[in-house]
Structure 1
């Protein structure tokens, strides 16, 4: 089973398009959060007692960002020459993009958590 997962993640290639996936998910969650808060406040005048839709959206965003970071982490561990990776080879470019994607995934994960904090602490729509 582990070999199937490893091969699945190794088949996916980290590119510039995969680099923007975590911040895009974060931005989508940010937009979703504000829309959810606006609709909740307009309908009920206060946040719901337990915001099920918001929790599901937050967990979905966190899972997708974690999956993106996990794929980047696996791609960055491809064996090759030892550091520093200064050559213009395909492996060095892949490692650079994988490391950048991993760092953006970590930042986006924390960003989604911080975007979710107002729902936890604020209960009034004033």
Structure 2
């Protein structure tokens, strides 16, 4: 695997991903991961609770499934946040990034993606809270 180590503003990081991955589509990565996580968790629990008699396992398996989906979603969102932080040049430039230049556009996009990643991280944690608090289906 090809990678390079860079140091910007006293922060050292490895570039495992090429810079080309930091495009406009990275802006949507974290919210899409949150939305898919939301659907998996709530549809999985709803189907289980509605059709309990068809399943041979109990609600604890659903809770473990939600925990696994949450862990995967949080890892993907953290990866998205790291890529955004790298695109923002590790916070080297302070906002606002409002000049009509390519650099400011990339910095703004990186900062916006970083903020969306933080919001999506918190949203995933809140979506998974009912699985930690509920121990079964309630009719």
In structure 2, the gaps of 5 or more residues are 7-12
Q: Does 1:110 align with 2:119?
A: no
Root mean square deviation, CA, Å: 2.8
In structure 1, the gaps of 5 or more residues are none
Equivalences, count = 126
- Name the counterpart of 1:3: 5
Is the Cα–Cα contact under 8 Å of residues 85 and 91 in structure 2 kept in the other structure? no
1:52 Cα deviation (Å)?
Answer: 2.3
Instruction: Say which structure, 1 or 2, has more relative contact order (CA 8 Å, 6+ apart).
Output: 1
Greater share of helix: 1
Greater share of strand: 2
When normalised by structure 1's length, the TM-score is 0.83
Larger CA deviation: 100-109 vs 72-81: 72-81
Is the Cα–Cα contact under 8 Å of residues 10 and 75 in structure 1 kept in the other structure? no
Instruction: Find the residue that maps to 1:114 and give its secondary structure.
Output: helix
Q: Does 1:63 align with 2:75?
A: yes
Query: Would the alpha carbon gap of residues 37 and 95 (structure 1) be closer, same or farther in structure 2, given more than 3 Å must change?
Result: same
